[in-house]
Amino acid sequence: MSSSSIDWKDVIKKKVRGINDEDFGEVQEVKDNYVLVQKGIINKKKFYIPKDQAESYDGDVLKFKFSEQELSKYQDEQSSTIMNAESNSDIIYENIQQQQEEEETNQQHLPLTQEKLNVSKVSQENQTTVTKKPITETKTEQVQLMHEEISIERRPPSGQTEAQSPIQSQEKIKIPLKREEVEVTKKPYVKEEIVIKKKDFTDTREIKENIAFEERDTSR
Q: What is the pLDDT of residues 138-185, one digit of tens each?
A: 989 899 999 999 888 888 877 777 766 677 777 788 999 999 999 989
pLDDT in tens, 71-120: 988 986 445 455 555 555 566 667 778 777 777 677 777 888 988 888 88
Report the distance separating Cα 41 and Cα 44, nearest Å.
Answer: 6
Report the distance separating Cα 217 and Cα 110, nearest Å.
Answer: 12
Average pLDDT, integer, range 59-74? 91
Provide the pairing of β-strand 23-30 with 54-57: unpaired
Share of the chain above pLDDT 90, in %: 33
Architecture of domain 3-101: Roll (2.30)
Which amino acid, residue 55? E
pLDDT in tens, 177-215: 999 999 989 899 998 998 989 898 888 888 888 888 888
- Bridge partner residues of 48 (DSSP): 36
Query: Residue 29's pLDDT band (boundaries 50, 70, 90)?
Result: very high
Report the distance separating Cα 39 and Cα 49, nearest Å.
Answer: 13
Report the distance separating Cα 56 and Cα 6, nearest Å.
Answer: 8
Give 53-57 contacts, CB < 8 A, sequence gap 24+: 53/3, 54/3, 54/6, 55/1, 55/19, 56/1, 57/1, 57/6, 57/7, 57/10, 57/11, 57/14
Decide if pLDDT at 64 tops 90: yes
Pick the closest to residue 87 from 51, 34, 45, 39 (CA basis): 34
Q: What's the pLDDT score for residue 85?
A: 53
Q: What's the pLDDT score for residue 209?
A: 87
Burial 163-172 (b: 16+ CB within 10 A, else e): eeeeeeeeee
Three-class DSSP category at 212: coil
- Is-contact 42 52, C-beta < 8 A? no
Average pLDDT, integer, range 130-140? 90
Pick the closest to residue 14 from 65, 59, 51, 76 (CA basis): 59
Can you give the residue ranges of every domain in the chain?
3-101
